[in-house]
Amino acid sequence: MKIYRVMAVVYRHLSLYKRSLTRLMEIIYWPVLDLMVWGFVTLYLQKFQGGLPPFIAFFLGALILWDIFFRAQQGISISFLEEVWSRNLLNLFVSPLTPLEFIAGTLVISLIKVVATFLVTMTLAYIFYSFNVFSLGFPLFLFLLNLILMGWSIGIMTTGAILRFGQEAEVMAWGLAFLFQPVSAVFYPVAVLPPVLQKIAWWIPSSHVFEGMREVINQGGFPAKELIWAFGLNGLYILGAGFFFSWMLREVKEKGLLLKSGE
């Protein structure tokens, strides 16, 4: 692993954002819209349901955290798609850049995106709804870390699929994260899911994060059990994603798909 090659990848992608307003907007646009819609919904609901758990914290906390997951995943798969769109893959593959270094570069990009998004949503949530996400305390950082790890593992998997199946797999870059949303128990406790989905949810790191978040909001304290599960599952996810990616890479080099650009 050579740091200068990782930095080259970072440089290339930052140069892209420097000049592209649409790409910059993407980091701010959706999160802000989401935040507004859900923020107002919760304000409205709160009028009726005074006795129920703190809606604002539940919804806005969930929303801010979910966006972290989504951006972390996007940071990787969109960076890879940029290379596909610009037909630059061959240039990368004939260079000494290793897949791991490329992924490391996109991880840095995704981290930058995540931080940008987090700062925007966090600030707006505070200004508009006086919701301070830091009220979650120290566990917040562990929640974020887990969501980022899960986002990365899904991002790496998506990248492998795009490498192998070309732009047909592009929808995965946008859609796959949402497949996890219902079973991630983002906006409701796992307990409301039907039994089958509860079993599935158990295997999704993000469901433990959101359960943990609600635990903190409801009772305070440190959700050790949920966090241990989240970290453990994420370890498996990252490992699985790594295997999947190298399998796809082998297939691609076997079938000569690198030479066939676009679709």
Ligand X SMILES: Nc1ncnc2c1ncn2[C@@H]1O[C@H](COP(=O)(O)OP(=O)(O)OP(=O)(O)O)[C@@H](O)[C@H]1O
Q: Please choose which of another protein, ligand X, none residue 12 contacts, taking the beta carbon within 5 to 8 angstroms, the exact cut-off set by kind.
A: another protein
Using CA atoms, how far apart are residues 147 and 75, in angstroms rounded to an integer?
A: 13
Alpha carbon of 236 to those of 32, 113, 145, 243: distances in Å? 32, 24, 15, 11
Q: Which residue, among 71, 228, 31, has the nearest Cα to 142 in the 3D structure?
A: 228
Tokens of 216: 């903190």
Q: Please choose which of another protein, ligand X, none residue 28 contacts, taking the beta carbon within 5 to 8 angstroms, the exact cut-off set by kind.
A: none
Residue indicated by tokens 């951006």? 71
- Taking CB under 6 A as the binding criterion, the range among 122-130, 136-144, 182-190, 251-259 that sits at the site for ligand X is 251-259
- Taking CB under 6 A as the binding criterion, the range among 33-41, 62-70, 200-208, 254-262 that sits at the site for ligand X is 254-262
* Residue 260 is a binding residue for ligand X (CB under 6 A): yes
Alpha carbon of 257 to those of 90, 95, 102, 110, 246: distances in Å? 11, 17, 19, 27, 15
Residues 218-257 that bind another protein (CB under 8 A): 250, 253-256
Name which of 219 and 263 has its Cβ closer to another protein: 263
User: In this chain, which of 94, 256, 262, 263 binds ligand X, going by CB under 6 A?
Assistant: 256
Residues 6 or more apart from 245 whose CB is under 8 A from it?
A: 99, 103, 156, 157, 159, 160, 163
C-beta of residue 62 within 8 angstroms of C-beta of residue 213: yes
* Binding characters for another protein, 7-26, by CB under 8 A (x = yes): xx--xx--xx--xx------
Residue indicated by tokens 């903190």? 216
User: In this chain, which of 25, 90, 171, 224 binds another protein, going by CB under 8 A?
Assistant: 90
Residues 190-249 that bind ligand X (CB under 6 A): none
Give 59: exposed, middle or buried? Use CB within 10 Å, 0-12, 13-18, 19+: buried
Name which of 165 and 231 has its Cβ closer to ligand X: 165
Name which of 225 and 255 has its Cβ closer to ligand X: 255
- Taking CB under 6 A as the binding criterion, the range among 60-68, 86-94, 109-117, 253-261 that sits at the site for ligand X is 253-261
Tokens of 66: 């979910």
* Residue 262 is a binding residue for ligand X (CB under 6 A): no
Name which of 46 and 167 has its Cβ closer to ligand X: 167
Name which of 20 and 132 has its Cβ closer to another protein: 20
C-beta of residue 96 within 8 angstroms of C-beta of residue 1: no
Q: Please choose which of ligand X, another protein, none residue 127 contacts, taking the beta carbon within 5 to 8 angstroms, the exact cut-off set by kind.
A: none
Measured over the CA atoms of residue 9, residue 15, residue 20 and residue 23, the dihedral's sign is: positive
Q: Please choose which of ligand X, another protein, none residue 135 contacts, taking the beta carbon within 5 to 8 angstroms, the exact cut-off set by kind.
A: none
Which spans of this chain sit near another protein (rule: CB under 8 A)? 2, 4-5, 7-8, 11-12, 15-16, 19-20, 82-83, 86-88, 90-91, 93-98, 250, 253-256, 258-259, 261
